[in-house]
Chains A and B, each alone.
Chain A
Amino acid sequence: MGLAIECRQLSKVFSKGWFGRGSGVPVLRDISLSISPGEIVGLVGPNGAGKTTLMNLITGLLLPSKGTVAIHGHPARSIEARRGLGYMPELPTFLGLYTPRKVLQYHGALAGIPRKEVKQRSDELLSRVELTAAANRRCATFSQGMRQRLALAVALIGRPRVLILDEPTNGLDPVGIAYVREMLLQLKGTGMTILVSSHRLNELDKMVSTLVMLHRGQLVEDPMATTSPPMSRLYIGIAPGTCSDAALKGLPLIESTGMGVVLSIESPNLVPAIVRGLVSKGVDIMSVKLEGDDLETRFLRLLEGRKQ
């Protein structure tokens, strides 16, 4: 089976001035990316890194300055590429006079779905995004969270094979976020390819199989893969006056106070040996807490490394 999304040496420069004659602003540089069918890929990066621009190039809303984008082998912007595409923008807007049911009917019709199927699918999607109760309310009265959920339903109405989601959990409460996560994992199970950008890195950590990180318009190594083995923090509470500097010698120390120490360790398997060693040196241990190295920490560390 071919690739779901393929970007080859993609660059984007935004022209400035009249008729694009001014010097351009390079936003993406030489991006090559391959995403296989059925993958959930997270797109992360600081503000201005080029995430939305990359998504817009994939959806065909922008034209590349250099390079190519293909969706299931078809050039982005072609009707064939758009046939299998679902897109949810970061700030969705709808016609204020339309109800969610009408919005879905409208987008279903644009996607070329027969009338009968649109009705059935609209009801199914409204219930899936928990908007059945508001199905006949005008969209103008909707909260940001409701708009996000409706936009997700709009993206799914055409039964897409590739789903592009720009910050889908913006404006959602924790329950809504968990709901979207569950839904995306379910969709992944159906073989759908999902490219999702988010600032909530720990949310992405729970659902994506691959992470693509952008920094200043360029691809950076996958923070999940490159910082392996992940570093964890071990917090050890110590009874006052029982720990000397000699007892801590040789340990990967981050911080030490009279009440405890913080160590950086590569594997949780090291915890028993460290605790045994400290006890054997006469240290009274009051508590032990291991904190995993989450995606956000790895991302920030990677970013710090890039800045240096």
Chain B
Amino acid sequence: MMRAWELMKETFFRKNYIPAVHVLGALFYVLLGLLPIRHSLELGAFLFIFSGCVLPLILSQGIFGDDIASGCIRVVLTKPMSFATPYAWRVAGLCLQCCLQLAAGSIVLLVIHYMGNKGSVSHLLRFNGLSLLMFGCLATLSTTLSTFINGGRNSLVIIFGALVVVVLNKALAEVSGHVAVGVKGIIKYAMPPAELLWTAGNTGPSGKDVLLLCCHAAGLGLIYAAIGISILSRREFPCEREY
């Protein structure tokens, strides 16, 4: 248990700016209270945008890549534990931070709604769950990229990938060939399901659809994690002079 806790705690202390990001995140929600928000606007959507989509990229930046570049990982991986242990507990640490950020954000949004009479909170609980699923998917994808991309470029790769996906989606919207359908399928089902989760948050799907969506997002997270752990346990960790 102590090992798990230390690995989770490390994800908060590994960068000077991480505590500041959490404070800025809470401030972002507080500032929403100053904006003229109409009653029909679902406040939970802000949780999905910040905690679900932006936060995982900031928190997981260089989560393994920084350690690999600095050589820290060389001491960590000589400890008697499976290579899956640091991966799993570091991702768990990220998810714990997301949960705390979601809780703090939800409290602020509820205050804005009930005290300021702004926006709607009818789907707030649903958006909390969907944001956590989105966070998990993006965090595992980013962590997996970090096992082979040195330094903190893993998050940049995801941002670039997201831009490519948006452009491809636009370009292939009207195309109906086999290749186009295949590419669209890969984008929809193999990439983090931002669009599916966003739609589910706003439309309120049936219980069966929610279950399928949860399984899909959790399954993707597990596949990304399995790839990351596999890379971590197979790759070598030479020091810089040996490259």
- Taking beta carbons and an 8 Å cutoff, which residues of A are in contact with B? 14, 27, 52-53, 56, 59-63, 79-80, 82-83, 85-98, 105-107, 109-112, 114-115, 118, 151, 154, 158
Contact = CB atoms under 8 A, between A and B. Distances in A.
A14 B238 CA distance: 10
A110 B72 CA distance: 13
Given A61-B238, A90-B239, A112-B80, A154 B75 contact: yes
Interface string B198-238: 00000000000000000000000000000000000000111
Contact of A63 (B16, B79, B80, B236): B236
Contacts of A14: 238, 242-243
A90 B238 CA distance: 12
A96 B67 CA distance: 12
A305 to B, nearest CB: 26
11 contacts: A56-B239, A56-B242, A61-B238, A85-B80, A95-B13, A107-B75, A107-B79, A111-B80, A112-B79, A112-B80, A158-B80
A61 B236 CA distance: 6
B45 to A, nearest CB: 34
A59 B78 contact: yes
Interface in B94-133: none
Contacts of A110: 3, 6-7, 76, 79, 81
Contacts of B237: 56, 61-62
A290 B238 CA distance: 45
Contacts of A83: 80
B21 to A, nearest CB: 14
B82 interface: yes
Contacts, number: 95
Interface of B: 2-3, 5-7, 10, 13-14, 16, 70-72, 74-82, 236-239, 241-243
Contacts of A92: 71, 75
A256 to B, nearest CB: 45
Q: Is the interface of A mostly helix, strand, loop or mixed?
A: mixed
A95 B10 contact: yes
Contacts of B239: 52, 56, 89-91
B2 A115 contact: yes
A107 to B, nearest CB: 7
Contact of A56 (B70, B238, B243): B238
B242 A52 contact: yes
Nearest to A166: B239
B2 A114 contact: yes
Given A14-B243, A110-B81, 5 more contacts: A53-B238, A86-B78, A92-B71, A110-B7, A111-B79
B14 A62 contact: no
A109 B75 contact: no
Contacts of A158: 79-80
A67 to B, nearest CB: 15
A114 B71 CA distance: 26
Given A27-B242, A53-B242, A96-B16, A79 B75 contact: no
A60 B78 contact: yes
Contact of A79 (B6, B13, B80): B80
B76 to A, nearest CB: 6
Given A61-B77, A95-B13, A79 B82 contact: yes
A52 B241 contact: yes
A61 B78 contact: yes
Contacts of B72: 93-95
A62 B236 contact: yes
A82 B75 contact: no
B13 A82 contact: no
B78 A95 contact: no
B74 to A, nearest CB: 5
B80 to A, nearest CB: 4
B75 A89 contact: yes
A82 B236 contact: no
A108 to B, nearest CB: 8
B230 to A, nearest CB: 14
The 6 closest A-B pairs by CB, nearest first: A83-B80, A110-B79, A109-B6, A109-B2, A61-B237, A87-B78
A112 B13 contact: no
A61 B240 CA distance: 13
Contacts of B70: 93
B242 A109 contact: no
Contacts of B3: 109-110, 112
Contact of A82 (B71, B79, B238, B241): B79
Contacts of B75: 87-89, 92, 107, 151, 154
A91 B80 CA distance: 22
